[in-house]
Amino acid sequence: MNATTRQGTTARTLRTVRDLMTAGLVARGDLAALEEVASRYAVSVTPAMAALIQPGERDDPIARQFVPDAAELTTTADERADPIGDEVHEVVPGLIHRYPDRVLLKLMSVCAVYCRFCFRRETVGHGRAALSGGELAAALAYIAARPQIWEVIVSGGDPLMASPRRLARLTAELAGIDHVHVVRFHTRVPVVAPERVTTELVEALRASGKATWVAIHANHPRELTNEARGALARLAGAGIALVSQTVLLRGVNDDAATLAALMRAFVAAGVKPYYLHHGDLAPGTGRFRTTIAQGRALMKALRGRLSGLCQPTYVLDIPGGHGKVPVGPGHVGEGNGACLIEDFNGARHAYPPGRAGAKAASNVGLG
Domain ranges of the chain: 3-69, 87-326, 332-366
pTM, rounded to two decimals: 0.91
Q: Which of 229, 280, 289, 310 is catalytic?
A: 280
Q: What is the distance between the alpha carbons of residues 174 and 358, in angstroms, rounded to a whole number?
A: 51
Active-site annotation holds for 324:
yes
User: What are the counts of helices (DSSP H) followed by strands (DSSP E) for the chain?
Assistant: 13, 13
- Polymer length in residues for the chain: 367
pLDDT attached to residue 336: 77
Q: What is the distance between the alpha carbons of residues 185 and 215, in angstroms, rounded to a whole number?
A: 6
Q: Do 221 and 265 touch, CB atoms closer than 8 A?
A: yes
Nearest by Cα to 190 from 130, 154, 244: 244
Q: Do 151 and 184 touch, CB atoms closer than 8 A?
A: yes
pLDDT attached to residue 356: 52
For residue 239, the number of C-alpha atoms closer than 13 Å in the C-beta half-sphere is 10
Q: What is the distance between the alpha carbons of residues 124 and 111, in angstroms, rounded to a whole number?
A: 8
Q: Which of 98, 222, 289, 300 is catalytic?
A: 98
Active-site annotation holds for 169:
no
pLDDT attached to residue 355: 62
Active-site annotation holds for 98:
yes
- For domain 87-326, give the CATH number: 3.20.20.70
Q: Which of 64, 111, 188, 275 is catalytic?
A: 111
pLDDT attached to residue 123: 93
Q: What is the mean pLDDT of each run of 10 residues along the chain (367 residues)?
A: 42 95 94 97 98 86 97 96 96 98 98 98 90 98 98 97 98 98 98 98 97 98 98 98 98 98 98 98 97 96 94 96 94 83 88 63 44
